[in-house]
Amino acid sequence: MTHVQIEILIRLAVAAVAGTVVGAEREMRDQAAGLRTHILVSVGSCLFTLVSVYGFVGFEGTKSGIDSSRVAAQIVTGIGFLGAGAIIRQGLNIRGLTTAASLWIMAAVGMAVGVGMYWATGFAVLFTIISLWGLRPLRRWLHRQKRVDEDLE
């Protein structure tokens, strides 16, 4: 294996681990998009990014000024479509926004891993877990405060 091939395998593995961490939290909350979905989104976006970075180097008939950001733009669009499918309206309530957002961030994480931004990946996963899991007590407290304020009116 070449150095580049080893680096690509490492990046795909890091994307899978990042998807596992966030997907496990979603799985524990019995969300529609859980462990497998988050891993697939993260690894898939990582692979698309890797293909855009490494896949067209020296490709016959291409110009030297290939714009690899076009692939990134299509990942964002595709994930937006996937996330929209996770959003469900039930009467006046809307469910699935957090799931859609977690899929969106996992696509960004996969892209970051794909270009080797491991430090950004680590912080993004940390902030995502804090948002999904760590902020739950604050959210419950805010909802209690809202009910208290409504009772006082």
Distance CA(25)–CA(51), nearest Å, equals: 29
pTM assigned to the model: 0.77
Look up residue 115 and give its DSSP letter: T
Q: Of 29-38, 80-89, 111-120, where does mean pLDDT reach its minimum?
A: 80-89
Average pLDDT, whole number, for the chain? 85
Question: How sure is the predictor about 119, in pLDDT bands with cuts at 50, 70 and 90?
Answer: very high
Asked if residue 143 lies in contact with residue 40, where contact means CB atoms within 8 angstroms, the answer is no
Of 90, 8, 21, the closest CA to residue 50 belongs to 8
More confident position, 129 or 86:
129
Residue 71: per-residue pLDDT: 81
Q: What's the pLDDT score for residue 58?
A: 61
Which 3-state string (H, E, C) describes 56-98?
Answer: CCCCCCCCCCCCCHHHHHHHHHHHHHHHHHHCEEECCEEECHH
Q: From CA 1, how far away is CA 33, in angstroms rounded?
A: 35
At residue 94, the pLDDT reads 81
The b-or-e profile of 22-42 (16+ CB within 10 A means b, else e) is bbebbbeeebebbbebbbbbb
Q: Are 86 and 100 in contact, with CB atoms under 8 Å apart?
A: yes
Burial of 128 (0-12, 13-18, 19+ CB in 10 A): buried
Per-residue pLDDT, 24: 93
Average pLDDT of the residues in 138-146: 84
pLDDT given for residue 87 in this prediction: 83
Q: Measure the CA–CA gap between 140 and 127, rounded to whole angstroms.
A: 19
* Distances 140 to 127, 133, 135, 144, 145 between C-alpha atoms, Å: 19, 12, 9, 6, 9
User: What percentage of the chain has pLDDT greater than the value 90?
Assistant: 40
**Tens of pLDDT, residues 92-116:** 788 888 888 999 999 999 999 999 9
Task: Indicate if the pLDDT at residue 67 is higher than 60.
Answer: yes
- Domains contained in the chain, number: 1
Q: What is the pLDDT of residue 121?
A: 93
48, pLDDT greater than 80: yes
Question: What range does the domain containing 50 cover?
Answer: 3-152
